Structure formats: structure tokens, C-alpha cells
Structure 1
Amino acid sequence: MATDTGDTGTLLRHDITIHTGDGAALVARVAGAPDASVTVVFAHGWTLHGEVWRPHVEALVAAGVRVVTYDHRGHGRSTAGRASPWTIDLLGDDLADVIDTVAPEGPVVLCGHSMGGMTIMALAAARPELFGSRITGVVLVGTSAGDLVPTGRGFPASVRLRSVAQTRFFAFGQRYPRVFTRGRTLLPGPDRPRHLRIVRRSLFGPDADPILVRECARMLFAAPMTTVCGFFPALVRHDKAGALAALGTIPVHIVVGAHDRLTPLAHSRALAAELPDATLHIAPDCGHMVCTERPDSVIAPLRELCADRAA
């Protein structure tokens, strides 16, 4: 366990490792006052890690909130475990383990971006009794309840063909990760202009800060190819539409960038339609990384949820 202390010796943050039933070691970071009235747990997106939430953590800790970030299995400092194949439901089980370990008592607010939002949905479907009792609020950021890689007959042929191509590409990478890992060495590095242009176009809005784009590019480039390819089938299979009744029992905020290419606005609108009491926030000029481009679009609803619990 690593610990940071302030000038007065008051605990500011510490790292803790959570061991799952299949042997994964999930590394979590706890920040803020131990006696805070509410704990916020953040779940990051595919190929990212817990440090993506840094500005949100700083803002909430300054407001007196206890905050927990963690790396999904196979991401960041967390190990992969023995479970195979990886699924979003498995990540939901991991999130339950994190909550049980770092916040065994008191109200909890969850915030998930992209695959992290799907993780919260998986937990809601599997453990609905937690919502309204332990979990008192949720923020879903740039995420989807299903059909993220559409292949059904109801979609245009061009969309289905692109989805099939993506699925086959990542399936090949899953079978031959060493080939993909060697191939990555031939690609432009994360600081090269070509790579940065691809990341900006795919994940950010038109006016994104170049520093933020570079930080994200480095994070993505550092993700192991086994993680990149191994989780893609889980994203394809994710389907929790119609299984989110537990989220209807608590306040939910849905945040999405107007220019999101990975989980387009239609996915957030579908979530809002299934959860009619949820509040939908559309951030103009932002892409999939809306939580990075415009941190306050996520911090503001989190502050509201935390204030409701502290009142």
C-alpha cells in the first residue's frame, strides 16, 4: 500500500489492491477524508486507466468528498486474472468487489465513462439490491446499453459490413497478440502528428486542447494489445437494454459529447428514453473524451449528487 500525506500528516490518498476470485489484482486509489459523508467511485473506459479522472478527483476532494479510482483488469496497474473470455458482466463483478473493499459502509455514487458506464449497467442488472440502498446516484458518460457494434438486419449494409470488419480485425488480434504487438512498433508513436490527428478525430471535439489529446494518445498507446483486442468482443456482446430498472430508482445523469463518434448521441438518447427520470447533458463541441475535454460536465452533476447525500 502506498500512502501520500499532507504537511499536517492527514491522509490524502493511498493505494489498495483488491484481489478477485479468479486471481486478478485490481489497483485502486483512495483520496479524500476517510469520514466524508459520501464516496464517489470512478470506472474508466476501454484502454484507459484511473488517472484519466485526475481533475475530477481534485475537484471533489477539495469539496470534501471521498473518491476512489481504480484500473480495470488488464488496464493500467491491474492484472488480468484467469477468467476467460473477458466480459462486461465480469467487470461488473469487479466493481462490486471494489465497492465492498473500499466503501463497505455509507452512500456511494458511481461514475463511469464508456466501458466504465457499461460496467455500472452490468452491476445494476446483476445486483439491483445495491441501488437505492448503498448506491445513491450514478453518472454515465459517453456510454451505451448495447448495439455498440451493430450487426443486425435493421442496420444499413455499410454499417454492418464495417462492424463485421472491426470484429474480425480484433478477433485476429486476440488470437495472435504478438503479431499485433510487433505491428504496433511500426506505427507512429503517440507523440507523432499523424497519431495525434487520428486520436483527435476519433475521440475529441474540433477545438480540443492539444495537451489533452497528447495525454490521451499516450494512455491509449500504453495499453497492452492483449487488452485492446481482448475486450473488444466484450464491448460487442454488451447488451443491457431493458435490464436497467435498478437505475430507475435513483438519480442518474447522462453526459455525452455532441461529436462523440464511438458512442454517438443516439446511444445516450436511448439510455435517457429507458430512464425517463434521468437528466441528459449534451456537451457541445466535445467528443467521446468529454470527461477530459470538459471535466466540469461531469464534476457538476457529481457535486449535485454528493450534495444531496450530505444534506
Structure 2
Amino acid sequence: MPDVYTPRRLHRDEFVTLRGLRHHLLRWGQPLPGQPPLVMLHGWMDVGASFQFVVDALATEREVIAMDWRGFGLSEASGADCYWFPDYLGDLDALLDLVSPGAPVDLLGHSMGGNVVMTYAGVRPDRIRRLVNLEGFGMPDVAPAAAPERLAKWLDELKEPPSLRPYATQADVAERLRKTNPRLPADKAAWLAGHWARETPEGYRLNADPAHKLPNPVLYRKAEALACWQRISAPTLWVEGSDDQLTRFWGTRFPREEFEARLAVVPKLERSVLQDAGHMLHHDQPEALAERLHVFLA
């Protein structure tokens, strides 16, 4: 078993009820006069603890809050057989009402979380002081004609609910993390595995509701997303890794040129590329990301 990463800044676990579901928060630091909290939101099949390495690398002490989305980490699952983006917006709205009811926050999201915060920042522009999107590209636009096939696929898969396979040991979970992202150091993978999965009689199971794997019956509409993006009033930082995951994952279905056109509608946009980093750039280059955040959020 490799050495396990030792965090520099320990978090406090907190459980709160948001919209009827028990949510898990990780909190670092204490509120400081005149400084908003930095709220961090993870991506699909990830957990709030994923941001530990960036928090450790931040140049100055500040209050940081990360939440496990519903059905991920230690947050309660919805009990439904599908997860909808409007629910993530509702949970985020309730979270900010709880942690910073009278003042805007600095808001950061990775991947799926990046997509959520971009939409939220356009819907509630007065709630955000600074906005950071880490590789939250969105998805290819889907034409209305695809609706019957998508709905039929969803109905078919409802008949056989998905499952997540168990792992024999926590070390196997860490190995799976490193297989997905070879840049992840062994000690950090070993630490993350303890937050990514839990021990059960059948083995170690991921802290995620298998319903997340079901296809979403609601089509992704680029026009709706951009209607929100263009209403963002906060200065916005877009950060991506030098290893182009957009082209690798979507290919010609979502060409780089289309994404560049989407970013063009964001009013106050800064961009940054982290070298030797892929989609999990907060794992690959936490120090470089923390330095970029320090400058942007100052």
C-alpha cells in the first residue's frame, strides 16, 4: 500500500438539509471580514473532497466550502430514477442562502459543476462576486428530432436499473482512479479512495447513486445554456488543461470552434491553460491552479 497523502489544511464535516435532502459539506478555514467564502462544486462521479489538494496549495487562508452534490459522496440520494440539472441549481441556491445569505460568493465548479455554476451565475448574477469554470464545456447541442429516440432509450434502461461494481480493496479503488487519470500521484489516489468509496459487505462501493448513469431524457439545448451565460455579470475565469479533452471525448460531435463561439458570449471572461494537465486539472496541477485562483480572486 503506497503512502497516503497528508492534507495541510484539515476540513470540517458538516451535514445540512437542502430542499429536503441531507447534504454533506466540507469546510476549511473561518469567515474573514470583507472576504466572501469560496464555494467549490465537483463534477460527475466525483466528490467535494476532490478539491483538497487545491485548498492545500492556496497561498492565503480563506473560508472554503465544498459540497457533495445530491447522490454523490456523503450526500443523500434523491430516490428518483433520474437526476435533473434544475435540481442542482435549486440545491446550489439553497446552499448559498445558508452559507452567505446577505452577500455574494466566489463560486467555482469543475466539469458538470462548471456547467451548473455557469447557468446559476446567469440566473442569479447578483449572488456571485467572482466565477471560475474548470473544464465545464457543456455538451453538444441536441436537435428536437432526437427526442423520441432519447426518451425510448431512457424508458428501456429504466427496466434494468444500473449498478456500480464493487472493488475488493480500497487499494483497488485507488488503482481505478489512477487508471482514469495516470497523472494522479499514488499517495493522492490512496487518500481520495477513502472519500470516493466506502466499505460494504460486498466490497468497496463508490459513493454515488447508480441512477446517475441513466441517460438524461431531457435534451441539452445550447441556446438555453447561452441565454444564461450571456447574463453573467461577475468576472469569469475559464481554466482548462493543455491536454485537450473536449476533442478527445466528443470528437466531431462538439468541435473546438463551436465551444470557442460559446465562450464568446460570456461578458467578462479571462482564460487560462494549465500545462501538463488534463480534465482533472485540480488533481494534476493543484499548485498552478491555486496560484491562478489567488491572482483572480484577490
TM over 0.5: yes
Q: Normalised by the size of structure 1, how large is the TM-score?
A: 0.70
Which string of whole-angstrom CA distances, capped at 9 and with x for unpartnered residues, describes residues 47-67 of structure 1?
Answer: 11110000222344x613111
Tell me what 2:41 maps to. 43
Once the two structures are superposed, what CA deviation does each residue of 1:112-158 show, in whole Å capped at 9, x if it has no partner?
Answer: 00011111123124323x2xxx31101100112331xx6559xxxxx
Matching of residue 92 in structure 1 with residue 83 in structure 2: no
- Any conservation in 1 of the 2:184–2:283 contact (CA below 8 Å)? no
Q: Distance in 2 between matches of 1:286 and 1:33?
A: 30
1:103 counterpart (87, 100, 104) = 100
The equivalent residue for 1:251 is 235
1:124 and 2:121 aligned: yes
The alpha-carbon deviation at position 279 of structure 1 amounts to: 1.3
Aligned equivalents of 1:242, 1:277: Cα separation in 2: 15
User: How far apart, CA to CA, are the structure 2 residues paired with 1:298 and 1:224?
Assistant: 26
Give the structure-2-normalised TM-score: 0.73
Letter of the 1:222 partner, please give it. L
The one-letter amino acid of 1:199's match is T
Q: Is the 8 A contact 2:121 2:128 kept in 1?
A: no
- Give the partner amino acid of 1:237: Y
State the 4+ residue runs in structure 1 displaced beyond 6 angstroms. 186-190
How far, CA to CA, are the matches of 2:174 and 2:74 in structure 1? 28
Match of 1:69 among 52, 66, 71: 66
Q: Deviations over 1:15-50 (max 9, x none)?
A: 3333233x2111112221223422100000011111
What is the CA RMSD across the aligned residues, in angstroms?
A: 3.7
Matches within 5 A, 1:200-215: 200=181, 207-212=183-188
* Kept in 2: contact 1:141–1:256 (CA 8 A): yes
Do 1:89 and 1:122's aligned partners in 2 also have CA atoms closer than 8 Å? Answer: no
Counterpart CA distance in 2 for 1:97 and 1:192 is 32
Distance 1:35 1:174, change over 3 A: farther
Relative to 1, partners in 2 of residues 1:274 and 1:216: Cα closer, same or farther, differing over 3 Å? farther
Mapped to 2, the partners of 1:187 and 1:242 lie a distance apart of: 46
Q: Residues 116-155 of structure 1: matches in 2 within 5 Å?
A: 116-128=113-125, 130=126, 134-147=127-140
Q: How does 1:241-280 map to 2 (within 5 A)?
A: 241-247=226-232, 249-259=233-243, 260=245, 261-262=248-249, 266=256, 269-275=260-266, 277-280=268-271
Structure 2 residues without counterparts, runs of 5 or longer: 1-9, 198-204
Report the Cα offset of residue 99 of structure 1.
0.9
Matched ranges for 1:178-193 at <5 A: 180-181=163-164, 184-185=165-166, 191=172
Q: Deviations over 1:270-294 (max 9, x none)?
A: 4432225311112233211011101
Partner of residue 31 from structure 1, selected from 25, 28, 48: 28
Give the Å deviation of 1:85: 3.7
CA contact (8 A) 1:190 1:196 kept: no
Match in the other structure for 1:302: 293
Question: Larger % of helix: which?
Answer: 1
Paired residues of 1:42 and 1:69 also in contact (CA < 8 A): yes
Give unpaired runs (5+ residues) of structure 1.
1-11, 154-159
Asked if the contact 1:44–1:113 (Cα under 8 Å) also holds between the matched residues in 2, the reply is yes
Q: Give the secondary structure class of the aligned counterpart of 1:28.
A: strand
Do 1:27 and 1:71's aligned partners in 2 also have CA atoms closer than 8 Å?
Answer: yes
